Structure 1
Amino acid sequence: MTNKISNVNANAIEQLQNQLNAHHIDRFCFNIYPVQNDLNRTLVPSVKYNNVETYRKIKFIIASDNKALQIFQDYFKHFAHRNQYFGTKFKLGPTLCPVDKHAKKLCSKWKEHFKNLGAVTVIHWLIAMPNGYIASFNLFSSKECAIIESSLEKGKRQLQHILDLYATYFIFHHIGKLNPPVNYNGLSSRGVNILKMLAKGDSLDDIANEMFLTQRGICYHVDKMKAILDCSNRSELIKKAKDLGIL
């Protein structure tokens, strides 16, 4: 189940939403994805930004409000896999997914549900970040797709600038929960705690005593994290974990 990160600066959320309102966007959700080489695909499969199952694995997102979170969960649980616009046609920048054109494939209950939630058009906006992540805004609008397309023709550059700024802000302040290796269940909370203790210089004995594990158990978690993050030794593992925002 996806949860909304609760300690996001309320003023930042409000300021971003006020600017999105000018483009007929009523709500938003934000999260980030790994680039192709960030995770070992054999151990953490299907972590792709154009894969419905990926969205279902997400533990934390930043959302404008609880209704945005509900749309996010319901959309990817019940609808996205039916939408021909979803998935392989994703690209950097905006991709419009007009829910209304494909709602006939849903039962009347869900058609009315999304309409009541204000999800007539969904925009998936992907941004390549300097740290190698792909930032993703899911933007929800109660307007028809044609109105959104017209708005983007006039204001795409301005909206891109706004989203770039807030993507950088959200990642800087909330990378601990948003970083993909943790957010997609690639690394366990116990493994991350072990990694933090290693980074502090604690010995295997100290960590084993603190975690109530054997040294063999500690090594198992460390080796698994090395495989997931594609590292050959502990020093490289700690460095990469810092680079990815895990530590």
Structure 2
Amino acid sequence: MPTRTDTHTGAITLDNGEVPAIRFDKVEKRFGDHIVLHDLDFTVRKGDRVTLIGPSGSGKTTILRLVMTLEEANAGYILIDGKPLTHVERDGKRVELKEKHRNEMRKRIGMVFQQFNLFPNMTVLENIIEAPVHVLKTPKDKAVARAHELLEMVGLPDKADAHPTQLSGGQQQRVAIARALAMEPEILLLDEVTSALDPEVVGEVLNILRDVARNTDVTMLIVTHEMQFARDVSNRVMMFDGGRIVEEGSPEKIFTDPQEQRTKDFLAAVL
């Protein structure tokens, strides 16, 4: 996808003038001697729903963790809304940006993890308003009102005063989705959000995320083994293997007419 780079700010735009939501530019990630991502290049447009599929260990979750700044790339650049996330190129050198800048960039991004990561000592309501109040400086009454709206949306309007230990796994994950959305993110990262759930509650969580995809313009970057969910929600699917993009295209193309043998083999094993 043709792009243009501003050499002073590091900002990237597409040739049509559009600023992508996410841009990976020759990103490499290593753990010791093991290279997890190899010179990774891809762009996610604003409002896109992009699902990453592939075998375990192919680098999918690492991509989300890099965007969330939970991991740091060893080389290359990641841009959010055209702005560098953690590093910028200056005078031919890769320069690390200050923590203040990273904190500002993180405010644009929400993430729902495999594990729910709720604060056990806080009520559901307190979990949801914690970051808006303390990070975004949202007035508490406004944050509380929004939290109740989100609890209604995820089907838990009567659980505001409950603690996480009083909830089922499916309910906790729905609270985690509400908590991520409470930050009004431009980008929502979903990392195998059903993998820790009992099979009978997977559908209810996925239906909520389908509603989010239908009713908001948030950009979504999704890692999942739920292929029907990927098919329903995505407008683009990327097949990964060994830290590289093997193939990408529309869900219809990838799931019904894959071109690469590695994609065919993977889908034959999981469908």
TM-score, length-normalised on structure 2?
Answer: 0.22
TM-score, length-normalised on structure 1?
Answer: 0.23
